[in-house]
Structures are given as C-alpha cells and as structure tokens.
Amino acid sequence: MSRRMIWFLITLMSIAVIGLGVIQYYWMHSAIETNEEKFRNDVFDVLNNVAEKLRNAERFRLYKSTFGASHNDTNMEEKFQYEYILRMFNEVSLAERINLKELNLYLKAGLADKDIEDRYTYGVYSATANSFVIQNGHYAVTGNSQNVVHALQNEGLYNSDFKVNIFDSSNKEPGLLMIYFPDRSFYAPIKWIALSSLLFTMIILGTFIYTIYEILRQKKLSLMKNDFINNMTHEFKTPIATISLASDSIANPNIISDPIKINRFLNIIQQENTRMLHQVEKVLQMAMLEKQRIRLNVAKVNLHEVIKSAVEHINLQVEQKNGYIETDLEADPCVIEGDITHITSMVHNLLDNANKYSLEYPQISVSTRNTAEGIDVIVEDKGIGMTREQKKQIFDKFYRATSGNLHDVKGFGLGLSYVKAMMLAHQGQVEVVSELGKGSIFTLSFPLLQHKDD
C-alpha cells in the first residue's frame, strides 16, 4: 500500500469520525431538548393539577362547614357566598386556605404519576408578605405550634421557573405554588448513552489507528525482507561464482595434471562452501529462535579465551584494511555460566560488525570488566556510527544501516537481532551507545550464574 493511499485512508477515517461525532452531538442535543421540554410540561401539569385540587378542597371544606346537614336553607347559601368572597379578597390569610397534608399528598402523587423521582423542594409564596408562607410541609411563619418554623429563603426555590397561581387571578392574594429540583440534570437520562457512544467511537478510532500502525509495520517488514532477499542473493552469488570458476579451472587439461593447483582450487571451493554454510546456519538459527524456546547447553565459559579466539579469527580481515584490534581484558574472575557456542557467535558478530562498519582503517577495542551482577564485554569501534533512529531499529530482524540493494556493507541484518535474543536467553542484556561519524560501543552484560526457571 502506497503512502498516498495510507494518508487517503487516514483522511477518510478522520472525516468519518468527525462526522459521526457531529451527528451524535446533534442527536444527543435534540434528545436533551426533548427530554427537558417533556419534563417542564410534566411539572407544570402536576402544579396546575395540584392548584386545582387545592381550590376544590377549599370549596368543599367551606361548603361543608357552611351547610352542614342542611342543603336547602337560603340563608346558608348566602353565608357560603359571603365566606367565599371574603377568602377571595384575602380577608383570610393565604396560609390558612391551604391544608399542608393535602398539598404534600397532591404533589407526591402527581410527581409519581409522571415518573418524576428527582429530589425537590416546594413552597407557597406570598407577594404580600414577600416571603414563603409554606415551605416543604411547614408553615413558614412565627407561632407557638411545634409544626411552625421560621421562613428560610431558598434561593433555588425562589428563582425557580416552575410556579403557578394557586387561586384565581381575581383573588387579591392568589399565591404562587413553586417547586425546585436542586439535583436535576437534563444530561442524566442520556448519560450512559453518551458514554457508550463515546466508548464505541474510541474503539472504532483505536482499531483504525492500530490497523494503520500494523499496515505501516508490515510494509516496513516487507521492505526489510526484500532487502534481506536481495542481500542473500548477492551473498550467495559471489561464492557460487567462485566455486564455479574453481571447478572449471580444475577441469582444464593444463591444471588437472598439477596437484598443487588442484589443491589450491579445492581449498577455494571448501572455503566458499563453508562461507555459504555459515550464512545458511544464521538464517536457520533465527528461524529456530522464533519457533521454540531457546535451550542453552550451560557450562562454565572462560570469556577471555572466547574473546582471544574471536580476535585472532577476525584480525586478518582487520589488518587487510590497515586497521587493528586492541584488547583490555581486566575481568577477574572471567568465568561465567552459559552456552559457549552462542557466546562465541555473539562476540564474533560484534567484531564482524565493528570491522564492516569501519569503512577505512578499523580501530577496534575489546575489553572486559567486573560488575556487581557479573561481567561486561565491551566492543568499541571508531566507525561510521548510527543516528538515534537507527539505534532504535538495529536489533530488529533483517534491519541494516544500509538499505535497498546496497552492498557496501554485506550481511543479512540478522546478527544483532540474534545477539539480542541470545543475551535475553542468557538472562543478560545488550546496550549500545553510538554517535554518527564517531563510532559505536556495544556492551554485553552477562550474569555469573544462570538461574533455572521453576
């Protein structure tokens, strides 16, 4: 997948996520407005019904107290009308016209009927007294009764939009029935829907980001594998051509009768064959490390002997480039527990890299030192060094500082990934310090003893 296509997908997904967010916001905003409107209508229905019931209850009590058992007395009818007019013109106080138990019961029943379960406070406000005369089931005036309390000005209740006249507007003191919901949040009913929507949106976004990450990673891995195949082809092509040339030379009538020349060409064939075998073993070794747990043949290993042998082996190649290798083996003791085959391969890999990446006059030093945990083996060169980005990738399989079909530095890009894997298998670690143009320092930190897993 091309980079342009990846950016197109990212842009498309971004637009989709933003569009989805806008639609969800519009939907939730509409849901909040609808919910708020329904709540307001329900509350006003309850207040109007309560006010109507209070008026009817007052008329019923007045009618009952006026007529008693007699319903045909003309004087009684006149008395009822007179009492009602007195109440309308506020000859009787607002608080006296309302029964507290009835008010409380009507409110509770009305709110329950509308499925409103929010905590609330309520009161009856008198414009004449400029205060609440009833508040939360109590008369809010001074008196001797135990049920009488002083008026407490409730700012939320006082400023509430939920208020209706209890009595007709023709009354001198109609009174306001007010209710307030201190904990009311219009977002509460859709809170879980909003959170679920956000969660699923984040899951979609996270999945998309992870998919793009995997595509880029796979693309990078594909390029590295192509690089590996190109390098492997080049690495095998040279020894195969050499073997072919040596074989043709042996078949030459002028040479076949010369044992010295035959032995020389046979030597070349054997060396090139060994070289190819080592390359194949490297590839197979990494494949085995991926498929199964590494099993080490643990034994006592003298690191100084391993290092001396590796230096002797690589020294000829270094001298051919007019370079040198210095050793400073200070560790005492210098014996650890480990697999000598793998430890030898690791040291060889580091020395081989130090030589390869010192393009002219290799200057390599190998040293050891004791630490609190074990022994460090330090391989330092004055080669081309690495950038910060390269340092992050050098232990990745198939990665090389050179890329594409460039063969100024030969190899498969498996050496350092092998070193990393084997150091972990030896319960140790590998660290690198490098600066572009100034060289690199690799440190292998080995523990003295290998702790067996339970």
| pLDDT tens string 396-422 | 765 555 543 334 444 445 568 778 888
More confident call, 365 vs 198: 365
Which candidate, 216, 281, 238, 232, places its Cα nearest to that of 400? 232
pLDDT above 90: percentage of residues in the chain: 21
The predicted pLDDT at position 154 comes to: 62
Is residue 147 within 8 A of residue 134, CB to CB? The reply is no
**Top CATH class, 299-447:** alpha beta
Averaged pLDDT, 228-252: 75
Per-residue pLDDT tens over the stretch 89-120: 555 678 888 889 999 999 999 999 998 888 89
Give me the pLDDT at residue 258, please: 81
Question: Does residue 76 have a pLDDT over 70?
Answer: no
Instruction: Give 3-state DSSP helix, strand, coil % of the chain, rounded to 5.
Output: 55, 15, 30
- Tell me the three state secondary structure of residue 87: helix
pLDDT at 136 over 50: yes
Asked if 212 and 1 count as a contact pair (C-beta separation under 8 A), the reply is: no
Confidence of residue 147 (pLDDT cuts 50, 70, 90): very low
pLDDT of residue 250: 83
Digit-coded pLDDT (tens) for 167-185: 876 666 788 999 999 887 7
Q: Report which of residues 434 and 61 the model is more confident about.
A: 434
Confidence of residue 190 (pLDDT cuts 50, 70, 90): low
Taking the CA atoms of 355, 356, 361 and 363 in sequence, report the sign of the dihedral they define: negative
Domain edges within the chain? 3-186, 217-291, 299-447
| Yes or no: domain 217-291 corresponds to CATH 3.40.630.10 | no
pLDDT digits (tens, 9 = 90+) for 277-297: 766 766 666 666 655 556 778
Write down the mean pLDDT value for the chain.
Answer: 78
Quickly state the pLDDT bin for 3 (edges 50, 70, 90): low
pLDDT in the model for residue 91: 54
Distance from C-alpha of 117 to C-alpha of 112, rounded to nearest angstrom: 7
User: What pLDDT score was predicted for residue 259?
Assistant: 84
Side-chain half-sphere CA neighbours of 231 within 13 A: 25
d(CA 435, CA 443): 15
